[in-house]
Structure 1
Amino acid sequence: MRLTAFTDFGLRALMRLAGEPERLFTTEEIAAEYAISRHHLVKVVRDLAAAGFIETRRGTGGGFRLARPANEISLGEVVRALESRAALVECFRPDGGQCALSPDCRLKGHLARAGDAFLRSLDAIPLSDCAVTSIPCRLKTAVPA
């Protein structure tokens, strides 16, 4: 399985929030710590809030933090929420994609079972097991291309 960058950023942000659950974080802060795009992170934060993983506060002194305890959030739950737009393969798309093998494809069922097994294994892992309290300095600065 390959997760999208969107889900990767979401998991990283949640891991950081889990490390200091009472603290409010800003998108600028998380983006700088992980050397990722703030613009992209804003979209991730929006989806995390809509899915009920984080709560946000606007204005001066605002930011975001976990909406519930990290031990009550499973990695599988997060991945399902953030990967809902990304189909594992084209034929899993809501519109069926452009697969020339459908409806006779025998691969689809195997891939569906593998994807389900992957998510079930992540269901057993609480976010609290992955909490991060600080970011190593090497991650704080982007490496020049």
Structure 2
Amino acid sequence: MRITARTDYAIRAMAELAGAPDRPLKAEDIAGRQDIPVRFLFVVLGDLRQARLVASVRGPEGGYTLARPPAEITLADVIRAMDGPLVSVRDLKLTGLEYQGAAAPLPDVWRAVRTSLRQVLEGTTLEDLAAGTLPELVQERASAYTDDIRTYP
């Protein structure tokens, strides 16, 4: 899975909105806090609005707010809104995917990858980010992380 800049910016912007549930935030303020190019952020916020994850508020005190409570929006929701499915193999459904010969077990690997991603991304909400309290599963997997793939458990 590759996290695009667009998705990274979207999640960071949504985390800022989750941290300010009582008032709209201006795109310029979000951009400044997260070091996101403001022009790009306007495009991202427009896509999030179209996906009904954020709402825009007009007027001098306007800006952007979450369209739902932060506990109801997962990281998976944001990623899907920005980039589509979490895991896909050549845009095919993973159920019924079959390979021959030595690659025959590979569809099970792809399904396991998708399941692992879903556990982490659907189990982590914007409320978790804003509160700084990640789910136990995320904390466990993050503490096991290493850049050396040969030693990853």
> What's the secondary structure of 1:92's corresponding residue?
coil
* CA distance in 1: counterparts of 2:110 and 2:56, whole angstroms: 36
- With over 3 angstroms needed to count, the CA separation of the structure-2 counterparts of 1:73 and 1:117, relative to structure 1, is same
What TM-score do you get using the length of structure 1 for normalisation? 0.71
State the one-letter code of the partner of 1:126.
T
What percent of counterpart residues are identical? 34
- With over 3 angstroms needed to count, the CA separation of the structure-2 counterparts of 1:16 and 1:48, relative to structure 1, is same
Residue 62 of structure 1: aligned partner: 62
1:46 deviates by 0.8
Consecutive unaligned residues in structure 2, runs of 5 or more: 93-98, 133-153
CA RMSD of aligned residues (A): 2.8
What TM-score do you get using the length of structure 2 for normalisation? 0.67
> What's the secondary structure of 2:56's corresponding residue?
strand
Greater relative contact order (Cα < 8 A, sep 6+): 1
5 Å-filtered alignment, 1:39-50, equals 39-50=39-50
* CA distance in 2: counterparts of 1:13 and 1:132, whole angstroms: 15
1:130 maps onto 2:148 in alignment? no
> What's the secondary structure of 2:65's corresponding residue?
strand
Contact 2:74/2:124 (8 A) holds in 1: yes
1:80 maps onto 2:80 in alignment? yes
1:21 maps onto 2:21 in alignment? yes
1:3 deviates by 0.7
Structure 1 runs of 4+ aligned residues shifted over 4 Å read 85-89, 103-109
- With over 3 angstroms needed to count, the CA separation of the structure-2 counterparts of 1:87 and 1:35, relative to structure 1, is same
> What's the secondary structure of 2:64's corresponding residue?
strand
* CA distance in 2: counterparts of 1:82 and 1:54, whole angstroms: 13
* CA distance in 1: counterparts of 2:125 and 2:69, whole angstroms: 10
Q: Please list the CA deviations of residues 98-140 of structure 1 after superposition, one character each: whole Å capped at 9, or x if unmatched.
A: xxxxx8676566335413430232111121010169xxxxxxx
Corresponding residue pairs, total: 125
